[in-house]
Each structure stands twice: as C-alpha cells, then as structure tokens.
Structure 1
Amino acid sequence: MTRIDFYTEVDKPADFACRLAHTVYKKGERLTVWLADGGALASFSTRLWCVSDTAFVPHCALDDPLAPETPVVLTERLPDSAAGVLLNLGPSYPDAPERFSRILEIVGRDEAALAAARERFRAYRARGFAIEHHDMSQRAP
C-alpha cells in the first residue's frame, strides 16, 4: 500500500524539495515531481541543477523522449500509469495516489500551505493510507 510522508514546518520548501529529490535519486528510486504549472516546472528544474557543487540530479520533463530512462521526471500532469515515488509540489491531492509506492508532501510554515496540506492529509486518511509525519521545525535548514 502507498505510504504518505508529510514533512511539516519546512523553513525553505523549495530547497528542501531539491534535497528530498536528491535523496530519493541516491536511493535508486524512480521519482515523479508533480508541479503546479510550467513556470514552477522550469524553476524546479533549474534548482535541481544547483543542489550542491558536487551533486547532480538527472531529470527531464515527463514528455521528453528520455523520460522512460531518466530517474527523475517533472510534470504538470500526473501520468496515467506510474510507479515509484511522487513528490507532490502541486496544488492538490493527486488522483489515484495508489499508483505510487510513496507520496512525499512538503508543508511550509505559511497559513495557505498549512490549509492545503490539511485538506490533502484528510483526503489521504479518508482513503486509508498509512501516513508518516516528520516535523522539520527542529532540523537545520
């Protein structure tokens, strides 16, 4: 069954998302990153080029011909079939979340992010998914 991980109280969500993508990649898992729109996709792609001076996260857009062999794909729409891990940077609850082995949700500290995360949390819980909570408030950025 799909496991959901909520990372809450994240100080810099965009930076944390890149580090999380790098971690999933280093574990050898396939990662789909779902973003709100083309601007967010382009911005996140740029950030992945700069994870650190010595790290690289190979990635491309879902519609790129290299997507089937690229470990991290970025998309504005979820694929019909999926496997691996979903990093949800989109604005809503994913349809058919059971397509993924894990879903990663990052929650910043602003009220809008908290409200949206609460809605997604309730939707996951209502569907019976196992949810892990990771409080990042005491962790170094």
Structure 2
Amino acid sequence: MTRIDFYTQVAEPHDFACRLVRRVYREGVGLAVLLADDRELIAFSNRLWSFEDTSFIPHCRASAPEADDTPIWLATNLAATIKHPVLLNLGPELPDEPGRFERILEIVGRDEASLARARERFRACRQLGFEIVHHDMSHK
C-alpha cells in the first residue's frame, strides 16, 4: 500500500525538499522528483547542485541517457518508465496513478494556498485508501 507523508507548516519548502532528497539518497532508495514545468526542474536541479558545499546529490532528468545510473530523477511528468519507489511531489497536483509508488512525499508551506492544495490532496489520498502520515514541521 502506498504511504503518503505530508510535511506541513514548512518554512522554506525548497530547502526542505533538498533535505528530503538528501535523506532518501543516503538511505539508498531511488527517488523521482515531480516538478510543474521545465523552469522549475532547472531551478530545482541548480538548487541541488548548490545545496551543500561538502556533499553531492547525484541527479538528472528522468529522460537523460545517464538516468539508469543515477538514483535521483527529475521529471515534469510521470512516464511509465519511472520505476523508483519514492516520489517527491513538487508538482501542482496529486500525480496520476499514485498507487504505483511505495511512498509519496508532499511538502506543504505555511501560506494559505499551499494549505488549501494540501487539504485537497489529503482528501484524495484518504479516498484512495492510502496510509497517510502527518509531520508537523512548524517548530523545526
């Protein structure tokens, strides 16, 4: 069964997303990161390159020739070829076929728009019968 982790009240969602990517990478688990469009994909890739001075998070586009040898894939759509067990959803909606992932990570900022989108996704995940885990990040 798919588990959905909602990280709510995140002060800096982009920095937090990089920390989540780093954590999943260190666990040795394949991760796909879904982004809204190419502009956001490029910006997030650049953020991963510069996230920490002393560490390296190997990543590439899911369609890149080196993807088979790279543990972190960035994508703007979830083609059937994406087989990683974990998805970090930075896109605007719950992805199609969310049940194909073991885990989906959702980051929710503190602004009202983020909270409203999260409520919709939470209801959809509950209706699909997924295990939902809430992480309140307001004091972290």
TM over 0.5: yes
RMSD of aligned residue pairs (Cα, Å):
0.8
| Amino acid in structure 2 at the alignment position of 1:56 | F
TM-score scaled by length of structure 2: 0.97
Provide the C-alpha distance between the structure 2 equivalents of 1:30 and 1:138, rounded to a whole number of angstroms.
29
Provide the C-alpha distance between the structure 2 equivalents of 1:27 and 1:48, rounded to a whole number of angstroms.
17
TM-score scaled by length of structure 1: 0.96
- Alignment check: 8 A CA contact 1:92 1:120 kept: yes
Structure 1 segments, 4+ long, off by >6 Å, are none
Equivalent residue number for residue 93 of structure 1: 94
Query: Offset of 1:52 from its aligned partner?
Result: 1.0
Query: Offset of 1:21 from its aligned partner?
Result: 0.3
- Alignment check: 8 A CA contact 1:33 1:86 kept: yes
| Amino acid in structure 2 at the alignment position of 1:69 | D
Equivalent residue number for residue 74 of structure 1: 74
Provide the C-alpha distance between the structure 1 equivalents of 2:110 and 2:124, rounded to a whole number of angstroms.
20
Equivalent residue number for residue 18 of structure 2: 18
Query: Offset of 1:83 from its aligned partner?
Result: 3.0
| Amino acid in structure 2 at the alignment position of 1:138 | H
- Structure 1 counterpart SS, 2:10: coil
Task: Note the alpha carbon deviations across 1:119-138, whole angstroms, 9 max, x for none.
Answer: 11110000000000000001
Provide the C-alpha distance between the structure 1 equivalents of 2:9 and 2:105, rounded to a whole number of angstroms.
14
Query: Offset of 1:79 from its aligned partner?
Result: 2.1
- Alignment check: 8 A CA contact 1:83 1:99 kept: no
Q: How many residues align?
A: 139
Provide the C-alpha distance between the structure 2 equivalents of 1:66 and 1:8, rounded to a whole number of angstroms.
34
Query: Offset of 1:98 from its aligned partner?
Result: 1.1
Provide the C-alpha distance between the structure 2 equivalents of 1:79 and 1:25, rounded to a whole number of angstroms.
21
Provide the C-alpha distance between the structure 2 equivalents of 1:28 and 1:79, rounded to a whole number of angstroms.
22
Identity among equivalent pairs (%): 60
Query: Offset of 1:53 from its aligned partner?
Result: 1.2
Stretches of structure 1 that go unaligned for 5 or more consecutive residues are none
Instruction: Map residues 24-39 of structure 1 onto 2, 5 A cutoff.
Output: 24-39=24-39
